[in-house]
């Protein structure tokens, strides 16, 4: 049976018909370029997107209601799940606004709102008190606020926005209408006829009714498939997740009190950096740079650049780069930390973390390893670092319908006591209850799914190795002999090489034809249970293609996250696209 072709409509969620989808369809190379260039024919169709880059419609709707109810002239707002996060956003906006040319003195204020708590024991299955913090700022400063949202990964989840709307929409709409009525009454210059109160109320009721229908539909689907979201189970779901994650890492470290849940993988990375800045003394935090070792996912580098004293970027992440870093350290320069991916995305290079660990012990810097791509079922990195961070949005969930991340402390690490003290004082659980319930359910068969993806990826690798169209393949077992050796040092006994691989086509037109032809899901993210393809360089680095090419990220690179499809069906689908590219190449 062939692979069922997914939607090829621009802006369609991936998976199809999923309100809280993590990925979005960009079905052609041209659509991806159009998206990056902000072309209307693409952007106007984007009803969903990767959540840190595309603010979900429910979040946008909630923001507009709150802006209409409590905003001042030309104000917009960003929404966060705690007051402390809102304060961090406020500080970021003020700092970056002051650095503009000319500098801007930003007026930023925070409003806190709460939904009603359960009124009785019966309501505890469907209600929970949700507390949100709204950061208000002048609309001209929105791009700066959006940077914080994107880089930190600490914004509210779409499910939290949906829930808050279901509880507070009537109240917020009434307050917004009351504010408009008051403003209209106070204005002597306006003589335009206004709709009657009954007319306005009717319109508001229609919108609320549609929202209720949507909520009832989602509830029906959950109940139909035995997936009731009983909020009383949220605490148990989080406890199970913590224990599951602890057991995923080496058993000698499997203490769930050293595992912390976050609403995104990037929030875990951001808070790992905050923890290291926080436990070091103020002088070191303000003067010592961090190291980003290897070409990383874009926002990891952004975090290290924009918070703290800056970053040394070793984009190749190879043994020669490590030689250079060692010389720098031997000469007397100190660094605060080293962040690396294991292996890297999208080049699938693996750093020598055993050597990095030795340098860390000798020179005293902290090491943070992001094992999202390798994942804990394949590799055991925690003995060689102070902190492991991982995006649970990816293979751990697999269903591409919930965002999450984790931070794990190495209790045998040299900085454990200081890190643990910081986390005890600073950590807030702002992982939304409904997201926890989804993630717990999705992750129950994580190891089995990972194994199947490994097996499929090995077969896909062979297919591309046989194609004359391919110039270079990046995969942990073939990227380079040194890279493979570093991976193998920490590969688990029954682990594989993961589900992610990247290919570089010799000719741009072949890459475009392959991508446009292949009948698979096409969009951002990775680690999905289904195969997901994207022209990574175009999607992640369109405005800096020449710069990233210096680090080996080719413009013609196509990244494939291999899923759990029947192997022969997946290979047939990929071969058809390769054959189409071969045919057009020969014309």
Looking at residue 6, what is its pLDDT? 81
CA proximity to 357, closest of 308, 412, 282: 412
Looking at residue 173, what is its pLDDT? 86
DSSP 8-state class, residue 382: G
Question: Rounded to an integer, what distance in angstroms lies between the CA atom of residue 211 and that of residue 172?
Answer: 14
Query: Both 269 and 412 in a single domain?
Result: yes
Give the model confidence (pLDDT) of 111-127 as tens digits: 999 999 999 999 999 99
Query: Which CATH number covers residue 374?
Result: 3.40.640.10
Query: Both 430 and 452 in a single domain?
Result: no
544-551's contacts with Cβ under 8 Å and 24+ in sequence apart are 548/295, 550/315, 551/295, 551/315, 551/316, 551/347
Query: Both 488 and 527 in a single domain?
Result: yes
Give the model confidence (pLDDT) of 198-216 as tens digits: 333 333 332 333 344 344 4
Domain total for the chain?
3
Containing domain of residue 360, as a range? 231-443
Give the model confidence (pLDDT) of 293-344 as tens digits: 999 988 999 999 999 999 999 999 999 999 999 999 999 999 999 999 999 9
Q: Does residue 222 sit within a domain?
A: no
Over residues 548-572, the mean pLDDT reads: 96
The domain boundary residue, chosen from 392, 410, 443: 443
Helix (H, G, I), strand (E, B) or coil at 211: helix
DSSP 504-545: EESSHHHHHHHHHH--SEESS----SS-EEE-HHHHHHGGGH
Question: Rounded to an integer, what distance in angstroms lies between the CA atom of residue 245 and that of residue 363?
Answer: 30
Looking at residue 189, what is its pLDDT? 53
Asked if residue 192 has pLDDT above 70, the reply is no
Instruction: Please tell me the chain's helix, strand, coil percentages from 3-state DSSP, rounded to the nearest 5.
Output: 50, 15, 35
Query: Both 464 and 495 in a single domain?
Result: yes
The domain boundary residue, chosen from 443, 476, 507: 443
Q: Structure pTM? A: 0.91
Query: Both 117 and 94 in a single domain?
Result: yes
Looking at residue 8, what is its pLDDT? 86
Query: Which CATH number covers residue 487?
Result: 3.90.1150.10
% the chain with pLDDT above 90: 83
Higher-confidence position of 240 and 180: 240
Q: Tell me the pairing of strands 75-80 and 23-24.
A: unpaired
Sheet of 557-561: strand order equals: 470-474, 500-505, 557-561, 532-534, 521-522
- Distance separating the N- and C-terminal Cα atoms of the chain: 31
Asked if residue 281 has pLDDT above 80, the reply is yes
Looking at residue 483, what is its pLDDT? 98
Q: Does residue 354 sit within a domain?
A: yes
Q: Which position has the token pair 């030689």? A: 323
Looking at residue 545, what is its pLDDT? 94
The radius of gyration of the chain from alpha carbons, rounded to an integer in Å, stands at 25
Looking at residue 5, what is its pLDDT? 66
Question: Rounded to an integer, what distance in angstroms lies between the CA atom of residue 465 and that of residue 215?
Answer: 48
| pLDDT mean across residues, the chain | 90
Q: Does residue 218 sit within a domain?
A: no
Report helix angle 298-306 to 142-152, nearest 10: 110
CA proximity to 351, closest of 296, 271, 269: 296
Q: Does residue 557 sit within a domain?
A: yes
Question: Rounded to an integer, what distance in angstroms lies between the CA atom of residue 233 and that of residue 434?
Answer: 9
Question: Rounded to an integer, what distance in angstroms lies between the CA atom of residue 534 and that of residue 526?
Answer: 9
Asked if residue 193 has pLDDT above 50, the reply is no
Give the model confidence (pLDDT) of 127-166 as tens digits: 999 999 999 999 999 999 999 999 999 999 999 999 999 9
Query: Both 159 and 275 in a single domain?
Result: no
Higher-confidence position of 183 and 385: 385
Helix (H, G, I), strand (E, B) or coil at 424: helix
Q: Does residue 52 sit within a domain?
A: no
Q: Does residue 364 sit within a domain?
A: yes
CA proximity to 445, closest of 489, 480, 398, 488: 398
Q: What value, to the nearest 5°, has the Cα angle with vertex 201 and ends 200 and 206?
A: 100
Looking at residue 176, what is its pLDDT? 80
Q: Does residue 412 sit within a domain?
A: yes
Question: Rounded to an integer, what distance in angstroms lies between the CA atom of residue 253 and that of residue 417?
Answer: 15
Looking at residue 586, what is its pLDDT? 74
The domain boundary residue, chosen from 175, 201, 223: 175
Query: Which CATH number covers residue 125?
Result: 3.30.70
Torsion of CA 275, 280, 282, 288, to 10 degrees: -100
Query: Both 439 and 495 in a single domain?
Result: no
Query: Both 395 and 329 in a single domain?
Result: yes
Helix (H, G, I), strand (E, B) or coil at 292: strand
Provide the total of helices (H) and of strands (E) in the chain, helices listed first.
21, 17
Query: Both 371 and 504 in a single domain?
Result: no
Query: Both 288 and 325 in a single domain?
Result: yes
Q: Which pLDDT band holds residue 186 (cuts at 50, 70, 90)?
A: low
Q: What value, to the nearest 5°, has the Cα angle with vertex 481 and ends 304 and 448?
A: 75
Give the model confidence (pLDDT) of 345-391 as tens digits: 999 999 999 999 999 999 999 999 999 999 999 999 999 999 999 99
CA proximity to 518, closest of 502, 534, 507, 505: 534
Q: CA–CA distance from 360 to each of 116, 272, 363 (Å)?
A: 49, 16, 5
Give the model confidence (pLDDT) of 452-470 as tens digits: 999 999 999 999 999 999 9
Query: How many other CB atoms are there within 10 angstroms of residue 263's CB atom?
Result: 26
CA proximity to 298, closest of 85, 21, 547: 547
Looking at residue 205, what is its pLDDT? 32
Looking at residue 187, what is its pLDDT? 59
Asked if residue 477 has pLDDT above 90, the reply is yes
Looking at residue 185, what is its pLDDT? 66
Query: Both 438 and 458 in a single domain?
Result: no
Give the model confidence (pLDDT) of 496-549 as tens digits: 999 999 999 999 999 999 999 999 999 999 999 999 999 999 999 999 999 999
Asked if residue 178 has pLDDT above 90, the reply is no
Characterise 153 by phi-psi region: left (phi > 0), alpha (psi -120 to 50), beta (else).
left
Higher-confidence position of 176 and 571: 571
Q: Does residue 42 sit within a domain?
A: no
Query: Both 436 and 450 in a single domain?
Result: no
Over residues 441-452, the mean pLDDT reads: 97
Report helix angle 265-279 to 142-152, nearest 10: 90
């Amino acid at each position: 049976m062939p692979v069922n072709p997914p939607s090829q409509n621009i802006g369609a969620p991936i998976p199809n018909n999923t309100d809280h989808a993590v990925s979005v369809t960009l079905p052609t190379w041209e659509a991806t370029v159009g998206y990056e260039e902000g072309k209307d024919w693409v952007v106007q169709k984007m009803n969903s997107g990767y959540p840190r880059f595309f603010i979900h419609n429910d979040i946008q709707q909630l923001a507009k209601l709150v802006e209409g109810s409590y905003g001042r002239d030309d104000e917009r707002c960003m929404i966060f799940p705690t007051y402390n996060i809102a304060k961090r956003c406020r500080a970021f906006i003020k700092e970056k606004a002051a650095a503009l040319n000319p500098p801007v003195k930003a007026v930023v204020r925070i409003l806190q709102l709460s939904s009603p708590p359960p009124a009785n024991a019966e309501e505890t299955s469907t209600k929970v008190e949700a507390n949100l913090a709204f950061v208000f700022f002048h609309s001209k400063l929105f791009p700066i606020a959006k940077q914080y949202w994107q880089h930190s990964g600490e914004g509210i989840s779409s499910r939290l926005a949906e829930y808050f709307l279901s509880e507070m929409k009537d109240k917020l709409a009434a307050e917004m209408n009351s504010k408009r009525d008051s403003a209209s009454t106070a204005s002597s210059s306006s003589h335009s006829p206004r709709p009657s109160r009954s007319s306005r109320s009717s319109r508001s009721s229609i919108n609320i009714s549609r929202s209720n229908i949507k909520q009832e539909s989602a509830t029906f689907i959950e109940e139909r498939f035995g997936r009731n979201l009983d909020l009383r189970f949220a605490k148990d779901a989080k406890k199970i997740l913590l224990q599951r994650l602890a057991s995923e890492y080496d058993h000698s470290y499997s203490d769930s009190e050293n595992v912390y849940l976050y609403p995104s993988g990037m929030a875990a990375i951001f808070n790992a950096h905050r923890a290291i800045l926080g436990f070091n003394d103020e002088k070191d935090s303000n003067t010592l740079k961090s190291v980003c070792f290897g070409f990383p996912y874009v926002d990891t580098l952004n975090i290290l650049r924009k918070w703290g004293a800056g970053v040394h970027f070793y984009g190749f992440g190879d043994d020669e780069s490590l030689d250079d870093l060692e010389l720098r350290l031997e000469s007397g320069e100190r660094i605060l930390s080293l962040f690396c991916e294991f292996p890297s995305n999208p080049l699938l290079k693996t750093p020598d973390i055993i050597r990095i660990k030795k340098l860390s012990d000798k020179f005293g810097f902290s090491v943070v390893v992001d094992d999202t791509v390798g994942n804990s079922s394949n590799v055991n990195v925690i003995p060689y670092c102070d902190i492991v961070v991982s995006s649970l949005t990816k293979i751990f969930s697999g269903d591409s319908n919930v965002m999450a991340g984790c931070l794990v402390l190495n209790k045998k690490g040299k900085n454990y006591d200081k890190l643990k003290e910081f986390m005890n004082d600073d950590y807030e659980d702002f992982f939304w209850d409904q997201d926890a319930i989804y993630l717990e359910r999705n992750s129950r068969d994580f190891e089995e799914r990972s194994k199947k993806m490994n097996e499929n990826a090995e077969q896909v690798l062979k297919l591309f190795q046989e194609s004359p169209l391919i110039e270079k393949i990046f995969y942990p077992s073939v990227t380079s002999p040194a890279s493979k050796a570093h991976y193998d040092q920490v590969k688990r006994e029954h682990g594989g090489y993961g589900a992610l691989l990247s290919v570089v086509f010799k000719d741009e037109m072949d890459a475009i034809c392959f991508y446009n032809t292949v009948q698979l899901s096409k969009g951002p993210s990775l680690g999905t249970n289904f195969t997901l393809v994207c022209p990574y360089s175009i999607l992640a680095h369109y405005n800096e293609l020449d710069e990233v090419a210096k680090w080996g990220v080719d413009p013609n690179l196509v990244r494939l996250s291999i899923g759990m499809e029947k192997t022969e069906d997946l290979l047939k689908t990929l071969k058809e696209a390769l054959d189409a590219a071969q045919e057009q190449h020969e014309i």
